[in-house]
């Protein structure tokens, strides 16, 4: 049964990663790309979890904890320093 689950989840997560990468490629703004890369990080964490559950080992556990602790720093930094480069009406 675990082999079937592995194949099904591999297909699903591959499609999900492809969707996130497409959004990173075509995303109209920088924040869309940051959000899509966050989703890609969550998908990678999901693959680590499924690898541990199917093969019954704990090699990735510390990596997973570290991801959940410091994975938000990148998007916070980009969101802090993002600037509006489009023309905006400036009344003054």
Rounded Cα–Cα distance for residues 51 and 49 (Å): 5
Residues in contact with another protein by CB under 8 A are 1-2, 5, 8-9, 12-13, 15-20, 22-23, 28-29, 31-32, 34-36, 38-39, 42-43, 45-46, 49-50, 52-54, 56, 58, 61, 64-65, 68-69, 71-72, 75-76, 79-80, 82-84, 86, 88, 92
- 60 close to 48: Cβ distance less than 8 angstroms: yes
- In whole angstroms, the minimum distance from the beta carbon of 45 to another protein comes to 6
Spell out the alpha helix ranges (H) of 1-92.
2-26, 30-55, 61-70, 73-81
């Amino acid at each position: 049964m675990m082999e079937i689950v592995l194949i099904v989840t591999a297909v699903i997560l591959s499609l999900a990663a492809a969707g996130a990468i497409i959004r990173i490629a075509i995303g109209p703004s920088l924040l869309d790309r940051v959000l899509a890369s966050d989703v890609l990080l969550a998908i990678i964490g999901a693959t680590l979890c499924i690898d541990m559950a199917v093969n019954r080992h704990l090699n990735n556990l510390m990596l997973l904890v570290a991801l959940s602790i410091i994975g938000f720093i990148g998007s916070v930094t980009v969101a802090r320093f993002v600037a509006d480069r489009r023309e905006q009406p400036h009344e003054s």
